A and B are shown apart, each in its own frame.
Chain A
Amino acid sequence: MRVIVFIKRGALLMKRLMTGNEAIAEAAIRAGCRYFFAYPITPQNEIPEYMALHLPEHGGVFLQAESEIAAINMVYGAAGAGARVMTSSSSPGISLKMEGISYIAAAELPCVIVNVMRGGPGLGGIQPSQSDYFQAVKGGGHGDYRLLVLAPASVQEAAGLTAEAFVLADYYRNPVLILADGIIGQMMEPVTFEDIKPGENIAKPWATTGARGREPNIINSLYLDPEELEEHNRKLFRKYEEMKESEQRAELYRMEDAELVLVAYGTTARIAMTAVDMAREKGLKAGLVRPISLFPFPERIIRSTIRQSSAYLAVEMSMGQMVEDLRLAVNGERPVYFYGRTGGVVPTAEEILERIEILAGGYEGCA
């Protein structure tokens, strides 16, 4: 690992050149994660490898599970026992974890799950993708539940959001999913961990720690009485409403006077920024809204741009998933277009620029 020293506003900032995967692992350790269970899969192997090497130095436990199913159920056990715990995987492995994630959400256990997405469906490919968006933000497993989903667009942001994920997980007693794509996981960028502090250790009086001098604690998701289950689900959804109130996040890029609004997250947003710059050079008033929280989707921020916009263009590495949430947010008040590459193909800035130019020319043929 290389160490780079940046001079920023006179201050010395130690930055390390790391992959997104390594930065996620390091940030988790710094945030106080001491238990990590996972099964190998490309393109996220650097996360378990980093944990295997470094977690024991901090008195933590790294365990390579026999499957993603076992890994997520170990997370369920450890989270129920009160620990700060994480697992990571990539798309097919996340599919396997879904039953366990549903249990964790139902039992209201805090944990952090990382999905470094690759192309699907099926075994798909190992190149970067964003085609697990629906699975991430609509629940993914069975039943009425949501995950809090955060999407980093740089190595630095991957580190920051991972650390914050532990705080949010504890606060909401809900699993938090870091949804990254293979490029974020694999690319190297300078990163600093100076701002990352171990999250406050909030009390977990509900955890299974042995019923010494107290009534037994029970971690459970079974409600045989439908009225009770309905009440439980309503309670979960009050929590999700609070997330919608407090956790909507997005970055605005060159939006001051933008009329054509691109919406993209993760790596695609980075490319879209370049496309926006190129469009601006040609005198086209393009801008970008980059969702950082995918659940809750930043619909308030999208809606605040409706008055200035003539149209929206969602750009994704998928056949079009986030675009559906964008359409819900825009609610028919402006046209919403989509451009995507999928299967592991990464769109270029030139391709996106072409779409911007077509839209600026007033065509409706952009699909």
Chain B
Amino acid sequence: MRLIKGYPVSLKEKEFHYCPGCTHGLAHRLIAEVLDELEIREEAIGVASVGCSVLAYEYFNCDMQQAAHGRAPAVATGIKRVHPDKVVFTYQGDGDLASIGLAELIHAANRGEKITVIFINNAIYGMTGGQMAPTTLPGQRTSTSPAGRSSSETGFPLKIAELLSTVEGVAYLARVSLHDPAHIVEGKRAIKTAFEYQLAGRGFSLVEILAACPTNWGMTPLKALEFVRDEMLKVYPKGVYRRLEK
């Protein structure tokens, strides 16, 4: 037997605390593989946010700072300004990035901070028990939209990739999904490209990852992946939304 892929060096050998079928673990692994392939683990400084992935600093095998809820892009700005030669990334959920931290996100993007943001959009607040997020789909039931999200009362899914596509400091911007192997390969390619843009000093890069939260969606892991494929991708089309010359 031949080992095709081993455990990424950029991940600590620690069991994830994530629920079965959660996308966080998969996204962690893809980032770690990219850090390995680009040989930047020892140059990398990651910023963990507040959400189910708050313990990301326990998993990534590189220097890490844990940031206050929503403030990861500001923290990453501080780090990158001190160490312009290092690779700085944030890992944020949709409550963190698209709700409480929207200002920090947009301004870091607009300044063209040479950081990479990995944005996990699971359309819900996972850690606090399944409340509505700005990204929750119309009609989607959550613990704070028990009758389903009413757009006339609580607005529409906030489309971060589309929103940032006009921001001039953004060098690379993509939305991907990880619901099947082909999309996982595509998703990893986008993550790698985002880091390459940072390494080339081209500006701000972000990958929005459509993710499943089976626990708070009240679905089996399989059903949750189908929901990503059949419902989320309709509202959040995948694609590259901005890409400067490298």
Chain B CB within 8 A of A219 CB: yes
Docked-complex contact A100 and B68, CB < 8 angstroms: yes
Does B62 count as interface, using CB distance less than 8 angstroms?
yes
Q: A61-B81, A69-B74, A210-B86 are in contact. Are A77 and B65 (CB under 8 A)?
A: yes
Which residues of B180-230 have CB atoms within 8 Å of chain A's CB atoms?
none
**Which chain A residues border B71 with CB–CB below 8 Å?**
69-70, 73, 76, 100
Asked whether any CB of chain A lies closer than 8 Å to the CB of B45, the reply is: yes
Query: Chain B contacts of A76 at CB under 8 A?
Result: 65, 67-68, 71, 74-75, 78
Contact of A35 with B by CB under 8 A:
yes
- Residue A216 interfacial (CB < 8 Å): yes
- Which of A81-89, A255-263, A324-332 forms part of the interface with chain B? A81-89
Picked from B43, B54, B60, B77, the residue with its CB within 8 Å of the CB of A77 is B77
Write the chain A residue with the least CB distance to B63.
Answer: A208
By a CB distance below 8 angstroms, the chain A residues around B82 are 35, 61, 77-78, 81-83, 85
Type the 1/0 row for A200-218, where 1 means its CB is closer than 8 Å to any CB of B. 0000000011111100111
CB atoms of A78 and B81 under 8 A apart = yes
Task: Confirm or deny: A49 has a beta carbon within 8 angstroms of a beta carbon on chain B.
Answer: no
- Name B43's closest neighbour in chain A (CB-CB): A210
Contacts of A79 in B (CB 8 A): 78
Contact between B66 and A75, CB atoms less than 8 A apart: no
Kindly list chain B residues whose C-beta atoms are within 8 Å of the C-beta of A74. 74-75, 77-78, 81
Q: Is the CB of A81 within 8 A of B78?
A: yes
Give, as a whole number of angstroms, the nearest-CB distance from B32 to chain A: 13
CB contacts under 8 Å to B, within A203-258, are 208-213, 216-222
Are B74 and A208 in contact (CB-based, < 8 A)?
no
- Rounded to whole angstroms, the CA-CA distance of A219 and B46 in the bound complex is 10
User: Are A208 and B65 closer than 8 Å at their CB atoms?
Assistant: yes
Query: How many contacts A-B (CB < 8 Å)?
Result: 131
- Evaluate contact between B42 and A211: CB separation under 8 angstroms: yes
**B66 neighbours in A (Cβ, 8 Å):** 107, 218-222
Contact residues in A for B65 (Cβ distance below 8 Å): 76-77, 80-81, 208, 218-220
User: Would you call A166 an interface residue if the criterion is a C-beta within 8 Å of the partner chain's C-beta atoms?
Assistant: no
Whether A145 is near chain B, meaning CB under 8 Å from some CB there, is no
In the bound assembly, the distance between CA atoms of A66 and B103 in angstroms comes to 8
Q: How far is the CA of A217 from the CA of B63 in the complex (A)?
A: 5
Complex contacts, A212 vs chain B, CB 8 Å: 42-43
Q: How far is the CA of A214 from the CA of B229 in the complex (A)?
A: 42
Query: With A and B bound together, what is the CA distance between A221 and B62 in angstroms?
Result: 18
What are the residues of chain B within 8 A of A69 when measuring CB–CB?
Answer: 71, 74, 103-104
- In the complex, what distance in Å separates the CA atom of A275 from the CA atom of B76? 51
Residue from the list B41, B57, B78 in contact with A78, Cβ < 8 A:
B78
Q: For the complex, is B246 an interface residue (Cβ under 8 Å from A)?
A: no
- Please tell me if A337 contacts chain B, counting CB pairs below 8 Å: no
Distance in angstroms from A56 CB to nearest chain B CB is 12
Q: For A99, what are the chain B residues with a Cβ–Cβ distance below 8 Å?
A: 68
Smallest distance from the beta carbon of B195 to chain A beta carbons, Å? 14
From B78, which residue of chain A is reached at the shortest CB distance?
A: A77
Structural contact, B63 and A37, CB atoms closer than 8 A: no
Chain A residues with Cβ below 8 Å from B64 are: 208, 216-220
Separation of A169 and B199 alpha carbons in the complex (Å): 33
Q: With both chains docked as a complex, state the minimum distance between the C-beta of A298 and any C-beta of chain B, in angstroms.
A: 33
Tell me whether A222 and B107 are in contact (CB under 8 A): no
Question: Of B47, B54, B61, B63, which one neighbours A209 at CB under 8 angstroms?
Answer: B63
* B44 close to chain A: CB less than 8 A: yes
A83 surroundings in chain B (CB, below 8 A): 78, 82
Which residue of chain B has its CB nearest to the CB of A69? B71
Determine which of B41, B55, B78 lies in contact with A37 in the assembled complex, contact meaning CB atoms within 8 Å.
B78
Q: With A and B bound together, what is the CA distance between A213 and B43 in angstroms?
A: 11
Residues on the B chain within 8 Å of A82, using CB? 82
**Inter-chain contacts of B47 with A (CB < 8 A):** 77
Q: Which of A77, A209, A222 contacts B74 (CB 8 A)?
A: A77
Q: Judge if A67 is at the interface, Cβ distance under 8 Å.
A: yes
Contact between B74 and A213, CB atoms less than 8 A apart: no
Interface contact B104-A35, CB-CB below 8 Å: no
Judge whether B57 and A81 touch: CB under 8 Å.
no
A residues engaging B (CB < 8 A)?
35, 37, 61, 63, 65-67, 69-71, 73-83, 85, 99-100, 103, 107, 208-213, 216-222
Known contacts A70-B104, A81-B78; can you find 8 more A-B pairs with CB under 8 A?
Answer: A76-B65, A77-B74, A77-B76, A83-B82, A107-B66, A212-B43, A216-B62, A220-B57
- Could you jot down 6 A-B contacts, CB within 8 Å? A76-B78, A79-B78, A80-B75, A85-B82, A103-B68, A216-B64
